[in-house]
């Protein structure tokens, strides 16, 4: 059974600081996704990572994937308040397109 | 980009009634649609996988007679919560996966169900 673990679950940081959210998963997979969710809203797709060593960047967010370590990271650079949200990683179950989600990381960026 | 809509966005119903939620892919054909449930401050849990023209596949622990799924066309899937109870109150989100050449699911805006 595929398990996905995120940490930290809660993250409070100051504007301008850097931080990394980690996503570990238990079985082999070749697709990992990062999503953002604002309160009361659905999911917004941030990144799709499809291969070992994949790195994608969008603005202040950068995601990477190490399939050998079964680890993905979401790095936040010079955080701003607008990044406050809950971030989920999700892993595809063996190419079935069925996603298993981590518990989410609630990020609060303080002025 | 690909757009997925859900209707209604919010519904309040009495215990014992049934509620139907629609999920539509607006500008692409969805070969597969997924239904998730999210309780407050929790993650998304996959309920079922819906393929056009065939029976839905339910995840372990999800009652298929309670959560009826119909995927009538390549752009529409419906979830009917039958004989709803307060414990069914949740945020229901659908996603669609289609032949777009992308490797991602597109999520609907969600439906908040409150059962009184």
For chain A, report the end-to-end CA distance as a whole number of angstroms. 41
Which among B42, B102, B105 has CB closest to A99? Answer: B105
Q: Can you point out the beta strands (E) in chain B?
A: 4-7, 10-13, 19-25, 30-38, 44-51, 57-58, 67-73, 76-81, 90-98, 106-107, 111-115
A46: nearest CA partner in chain B: B104
CB atoms B103 and A100 under 8 Å: no
Whether A101 and B49 lie within 8 Å, measured CB to CB? no
CA distance B79 to B47: 10
Quick check: helix, strand or coil at residue A92?
A: strand
Element (H, E) at A57: strand A55-58
State whether B32 and A97 contact (CB < 8 Å).
yes
In angstroms, the Cα distances linking A106 to A13, A87, A103, B22 are 11, 6, 9, 29
Query: What pLDDT digit, counting tens, does each position of B66-110 carry?
Result: 999 998 888 999 999 999 999 999 999 999 987 666 667 889 999
Residues of chain A neighbouring B107 (CB-CB closer than 8 A): 35, 42-45
Distance CA B24, CA B73 (A): 9
d(CA B73, CA A13): 46
**Subunit contact B103:A50, Cβ cutoff 8 A:** yes
**Are A74 and A87 spatial neighbours (Cβ–Cβ below 8 Å)?**
yes
pLDDT one digit per residue (tens) for chain A, 111 residues: 889 999 999 999 999 999 999 999 998 887 899 999 999 898 999 999 988 888 999 999 999 999 999 999 999 999 999 999 999 999 988 777 789 999 999 999 998
Contact status, residue B50 vs residue B56, Cβ threshold 8 Å: yes
């Amino acid at each position: 059974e595929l398990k996905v673990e995120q940490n930290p679950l809660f993250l409070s940081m100051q504007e301008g600081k850097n931080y990394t959210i980690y996503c570990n998963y238990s079985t082999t997979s070749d697709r990992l996704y990062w999503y953002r969710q604002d309160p009361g809203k659905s999911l917004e797709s941030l990144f799709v990572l499809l291969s070992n060593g994949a790195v994608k960047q969008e603005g202040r967010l950068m995601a990477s994937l190490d399939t050998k370590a079964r680890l993905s990271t979401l790095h936040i650079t010079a955080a701003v308040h607008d990044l406050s949200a809950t971030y989920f990683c999700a892993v595809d179950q063996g190419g079935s397109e069925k996603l298993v989600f981590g518990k989410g990381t609630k990020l609060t960026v303080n002025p | 980009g690909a757009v997925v809509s859900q209707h209604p966005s919010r519904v309040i119903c009495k215990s014992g009634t049934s509620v139907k939620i629609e999920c539509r892919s607006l500008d692409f054909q969805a070969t597969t649609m997924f239904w998730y449930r999210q309780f407050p401050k929790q993650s998304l849990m996959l309920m079922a996988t819906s393929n056009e023209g065939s029976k839905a596949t339910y995840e372990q622990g999800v009652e298929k007679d309670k959560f009826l799924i119909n995927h009538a066309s390549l752009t529409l899937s419906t979830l009917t919560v039958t004989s709803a109870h307060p414990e069914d109150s949740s945020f229901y989100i659908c996603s669609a996966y289609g032949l777009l050449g992308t490797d991602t699911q597109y999520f609907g805006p969600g439906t908040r169900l409150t059962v009184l």
